Chains A and B, each alone.
Chain A
Amino acid sequence: MNIQQSAIKIRFAVKFVQAMKRLNKRRGMTMSMSTRYRATRAAACASMASAVGPQRAWSRAVLRKTKRRRFQAISKKRRLINPRREKLQEEDLRGLVPGGKGMEYCSLLSETAHYIKCLQAQIQVMSDILNHHSSSLN
C-alpha cells in the first residue's frame, strides 16, 4: 500500500467516524432504519469524496451534490464524441461514475480508475470498522 493510499484511508476513516458520531447524536429523534441506512451510506460516500478532495472530477461531483450548491450547467456544449464501438458501454459507465456525464471520454476513463481504487479503499475501511466492533463486542 503506498503512502498516498494510506493517507486517504486514514482521512476517510476519521471523517466517516466523525459523521457517524454526529448521526448517533441524532438518536434522540426517532429515526427509521431506512433513514439511518441512507444517512450512513451518504456519510460514507461524502467522507470518501472529502478525503480525496477537489483534485478529481468525480470527487468534485460528489462534493457538489453534498453541499447542495447549484450545479452550473455545462455552458460549453462540447460534443463528447467517441467514434468507437464501445459507445453503449461508455454511456453505462457515465451513469456509474459521479460527474461522468459531463466528461470527455479520456477523462472518464481516468476518473473511473481513481474512483474504483477509492471505492476499494472505502470498502476495506468500512469492513475493518465493522470487524473491529464485532470482535470488541465478543
Chain B
Amino acid sequence: MSSRRSRSGSSRITEDQINDLVSRLQQLLPEMHNRRSDKKSATKVLQETCNYIRSLHREVDELSERLSELLENADTTQADLIRSLLMH
C-alpha cells in the first residue's frame, strides 16, 4: 500500500489532510524543541507529541497529589475561587 505514489483522488486528499494535521501538532509542541521554521518528519512529531502528553499527564498527577493534600485542611469557598480565576 504505497499511498505516497498513489494517483487515486481520495488517497491524495487524505495524505494532504494528514500532513496538515501533523504540522498542527508540531505547533503545539513546547517552544524549546520546536523551531517553527523547520518542518519535522511525522515520525518525529508524533514521537515528541507522545513525550509531551506523558509530561502533561505527570503534571496533572503532581497537581492532583498537591490538591488532595490541600483538601484535608482547607475549606474551599467556591465563589471566591471562581472570582479569582475570572480575574486572570
Point out residues on A near B: beta carbons under 8 Å: 9-10, 13-14, 17-18, 20-21, 23-24, 27, 33, 36-37, 39-41, 44-45, 81, 83-86, 89-90, 92-93, 96-97, 105-106, 109-110, 112-113, 115-117, 119-120, 122-123, 125-130, 132-133, 137
Our pick among A20, A44, A83, A93 for the contact of B76 (Cβ within 8 Å) is A20
**Is B18's CB under 8 angstroms from A41's CB?**
no
B47 (CB) vs chain A CBs: closest residue = A89
Q: A93-B50, A116-B56, A122-B60 are in contact. Are A40 and B43 (CB under 8 A)?
A: no
**Contacts A83-B1, A83-B3, A119-B56 known; 20 new A-B pairs at CB < 8 A:** A14-B82, A17-B78, A36-B72, A45-B60, A83-B2, A89-B43, A89-B47, A92-B46, A106-B14, A106-B21, A109-B21, A109-B22, A109-B25, A115-B53, A119-B57, A119-B60, A125-B85, A126-B60, A132-B84, A133-B74
Interface membership of chain B positions 8-24, coded 1 if the CB is closer than 8 angstroms to chain A and 0 otherwise: 00000010011001101
Give the number of residue pairs across the A-B interface with Cβ within 8 Å: 136
B84 (CB) vs chain A CBs: closest residue = A132
